[in-house]
Amino acid sequence: MMNDEALVQAKKHILSVSVKPDTVMTRGKGDWLWDTNGRRYLDFIAGWAVNALGHSPRVLKRALARQAGRLVNASPTFYNDVQAEFAELLAKHSGFDRVFFCSTGAEANESAVKLARKYGALHRNGAYGIVTLTGSFHGRTLATMSASGKAAFKPLFEPKVSGFTHVPINDIAALDAAVDDSVCAVMLEPVQGEGGVYPADAAYLEAARRITRERNVLLIFDEVQTGLGRTGRLFAFQRHGIIPDILTLGKGIGGGFPLAAMLCPEALNIFTPGEQGGTYTGQPLAMAAGLAVVGEIIKRDLSGRAETMGALIQKRLHGLAARFPICNIRGEGLLIAFDMPGIDTAKLRDACFADGLIINAPQPNTIRFMPALTVAEKSILHMFRILERVLERTIHTSS
Ligand SMILES: *Cc1c(COP(=O)(O)O)cnc(C)c1O
């Protein structure tokens, strides 16, 4: 049988980097994914907070098909017209002047680290230290793993890239103490995504901005997960009006096409030719995807929609909390998590998957939702029906 064959091939030849269910996905539409057996799944992880417009949206299909017929790749040697148009769109809506395009969030953050070190070399007597947060996630290249404050990364792949120190989130005194003469930048996620959806509070972000500005240190916001409407604003930094010096974007920016970006003001347009680049920087297909997806997010105000739908999900979760051990409901827009003390949420996630619902368990007692920004209200209601059914089956109700 075809479907079993694909599973056998995958299990035999795909390098093992994570534990996966015995399922091979083959098709997606809107909020739904189908496997090779024709089973469908309601998708509340949306390509890992990536498919902003859902699966195979018409605008993305059209943009890619059109661009494939015009120009697939011109080489990084030249500007191309879609790159120019997309850079202008991002600049206009973010307030930044310059954009470096790349393919993954890790690469965008790696780029930010390099830019911060260049700034340190030029303006901070060679300072190269970067302060990041405990529990943060910045990617899987060696430098971004070193930057990440994820405990499980600590013993891996030594020696790490040096120069990174970690301080706890929302602890202003710890940040204040860490930003000394050896530091060129502070890097943080406005809402920690992989860490379990922990927002940095407004007072902390304000303090981070004040401390870095006073000491001529750069403030980098990693908005790979929070950017492009996910948190109910086009960019998460807009919620509290704290403007970073460097902004990194990824995930939702391409709606599923590999695309990421680093943005900065004109004053940080300081790389010397040869110091930064990449074969796929400004790749026309990626630019066309980004232009279509970001254009759609803006045109349809999907940020505002994420805020509304997120509020609906949080309200329903508070309702469920009366009957099940659900607490610490948190998040912004359509990046939402909650804790279930004493419950193995990886098992709960697997039980939901068996019932046709895809959710994420970022921590042993935590569940996270990150559906498409276009998630239908009826999909949200359907998700709660499945979740409730699974909870009733697997957990003793308190009533
Ligand atoms: C996913 C993520 C990254 C890494 O992005 P990749 O595209 O997987 O390299 C970096 N930072 C944050 C906040 C992320 O959520």
Distance CA 373, CA 309 (A): 9
> What average pLDDT does this structure show over 41-63?
98
Distance CA 210, CA 198 (A): 21
Given a cut of 50, is residue 399 above it in pLDDT? no
**216-234 pLDDT, tens per residue?**
999 999 999 999 999 999 9
Of 337, 338, 334, 336, the residue nearest 372 (C-alpha):
334
> What average pLDDT does this structure show over 175-179?
98
Question: Which pLDDT belongs to residue 52?
Answer: 98
Q: Ligand 1 centroid to 320 CA: how many Å? A: 31
Residue 35 Cα to chain centre, angstroms: 25
- Report residue 216 as tokens: 């001529």
Question: Which pLDDT belongs to residue 1?
Answer: 47
Is 224's C-beta closer than 6 angstroms to any atom of ligand 1?
yes
Question: Which pLDDT belongs to residue 64?
Answer: 98
> What average pLDDT does this structure show over 277-291?
97
- Could you tell me what percent of the chain has a pLDDT over 90? 97
Is 230's C-beta closer than 6 angstroms to any atom of ligand 1?
no
> What average pLDDT does this structure show over 52-72?
98
- What's the pLDDT band for 124 if we cut at 50, 70, 90? very high
The pTM for the full model equals: 0.97
> What average pLDDT does this structure show over 159-166?
97
Is 248's C-beta closer than 6 angstroms to any atom of ligand 1?
no
In the chain the beta strands, taken as DSSP E runs, fall at: 25-29, 32-35, 40-43, 98-102, 129-133, 164-167, 183-188, 191-192, 198-199, 218-223, 246-249, 260-264, 327-332, 335-339, 357-358, 360-363, 366-369
Q: Ligand 1 centroid to 3 CA: how many Å? A: 31
Given a cut of 70, is residue 318 above it in pLDDT? yes
Residue 47 half-sphere exposure toward CB, CA atoms < 13 A: 23
Q: Which atom of ligand 1 is nearest to the CA of 192?
A: 13
Q: Ligand 1 centroid to 138 CA: how many Å? A: 6
Residue type at 28 in one-letter notation: G
Taking a C-beta distance cutoff of 8 angstroms, is the pair 254, 271 a contact?
no
Question: Which pLDDT belongs to residue 344?
Answer: 96
Question: Which pLDDT belongs to residue 396?
Answer: 62
